[in-house]
Amino acid sequence: MSSTHPTPSSATAPSRPASPEAPPPFGLIIVGDEIMSGKRADKHMPKVIELLGARGLQLAWADYVGDSPQRLEATLARAFASGDIVFSCGGIGATPDDHTRQCAARALGEPLQLHPRAAELIRERMQDVAREQGLPYEPEREDNVHRLNMGVFPASAQIIPNPYNKIAGFSCQGPGGGAVHFVPGFPVMAWPMIEWVLDTHCAHLFNRVPHVEKSVIVFGAMEAALTPLMEEIERDHGGVKVFSLPSVDHPQYGRHIELGVKGDPARVLQAYPALLAGLHRFEVKLGPELVR
C-alpha cells in the first residue's frame, strides 16, 4: 500500500502488500445499534471467518460499535492507521442513523463527494425499479435525488460492486496503510461484496502461509502447571503458537484441556512432538489427538 490516497477508480481497490512471511492481518468492524441492543444477532463474523478460511486466511480481530459517530470515527481511524485489511459492515445507507460514510471521511481528513460511477449505478437501479413497477422514471423527484446520497463517499473512495441491487460499497486506504472495505449490513449484499474484494484484490495472499493445528486432550492438569512447557515450545520453535483451551463440562471429555500448536505445517510437525514429549514430565493422562 502507498501512504498516499489513490485516485478514485471503479477498477481497482487499495490493498496492502504481503511480507514474504505472512499475509497482513484481516480485521472486521460490525456497525449498528441493533447489534449492540440484541435486536439482531451478528452473522457477519462467522461468515467472514468462513470466507477467509476457504482462502487459507484468518481473521485477526473484530470490533463491534453502535451508531455513535464519535466511537465509530475513532474505530475507523484506528483501522486506517493499522496497516490491516479491514471489512466494515453496516451504516452506509442514507438515513439519519447511518453515519459510516461521514465518519470514514472525517477519520481520513477528506471531504465527501458523489462518486460518479456510484451515481450511475444508483440511477440504473432507480430506472430498474420504475420499470418493474410500470412507472415513469423521474430522476428529479425528491426521493430519487435523496437516494444519490448513497453514492457520496470520501474523496479517495473506490467502489465495491453490489450484485444484489447495484448500490455500491466503497474502499478507502488510510495514511497508515490500513485498507477498509465498506459494505452494507445486509448479509445478502455484504457477503458477495466481501468475496469480490477478496477474490479481486487479495488473491495473491491466498494460502500464502498454510495453517494447521495439532492438539491433544489432556486430563488431570492445570493450565498454570503447563504454562512453562507452553513457553518453552514457543521459545524453541519460532513461528508456531501454543494454545490452551480448558473446559469444565465438555459433553464428551468432561473436565480437560485441549493443548496444541498451530502455524506453518512444517514448523508444527517439529513442535508438536516436542509438546507431547514435554507432557510426559507431568502426571497427566492424554486423550485423543486432533488435527485441523
Domain boundaries, given as residue ranges, for the chain: 26-205, 212-291
What Å distances lie between residue 133 and 119, 125, 128, 140, 164, CA to CA?
21, 12, 9, 18, 18
Query: Measured in whole angstroms, how far is the alpha carbon of residue 73 from the centre of its chain?
Result: 17
- The residues with which 63 forms a beta bridge, in sequence order, are 29
| pLDDT one-digit tens code per residue, 192-231 | 999 999 999 999 999 876 788 999 999 999 999 999 999 9
* pLDDT-based confidence at residue 15 (cuts at 50, 70, 90): very low
Q: 26-205 in CATH: which number? A: 3.40.980.10
Supply the pTM of this predicted model. 0.83
| pLDDT one-digit tens code per residue, 142-170 | 999 999 999 999 999 999 999 999 999 99
The mean pLDDT of 66-80, rounded to a whole number, is 97
pLDDT attached to residue 150: 97
| pLDDT one-digit tens code per residue, 229-286 | 999 999 999 989 999 999 999 999 999 999 999 998 999 999 999 999 999 999 999 9
- In this structure, the number of other CB atoms found within 10 A of the CB of residue 199 comes to 12
pLDDT higher than threshold 50 for residue 56? yes
Higher pLDDT, 78 or 5: 78
* pLDDT-based confidence at residue 21 (cuts at 50, 70, 90): low
pLDDT attached to residue 12: 40
Please, are residues 205 and 23 in contact by the beta-carbon 8 Å criterion? yes
- Its CATH class, for the domain covering 212-291, is alpha beta
Cα–Cα distance for residue pair 52/59, rounded to 1 Å: 7
Max CA distance (Å), the chain: 80
The b-or-e profile of 111-150 (16+ CB within 10 A means b, else e) is ebeebebbbebbbebbeeebeeeeeeeeeeeeebeebbeb
Please, are residues 103 and 180 in contact by the beta-carbon 8 Å criterion? no
What Å distances lie between residue 208 and 62, 203, 255, 291, CA to CA?
22, 10, 37, 20
- The residues with which 179 forms a beta bridge, in sequence order, are 85, 173
Q: Where would I find the beta strands (DSSP E) of 133-284?
A: 152-154, 158-160, 169-173, 179-183, 212-219, 240-250, 254-263
pLDDT attached to residue 211: 80
Please, are residues 75 and 63 in contact by the beta-carbon 8 Å criterion? yes
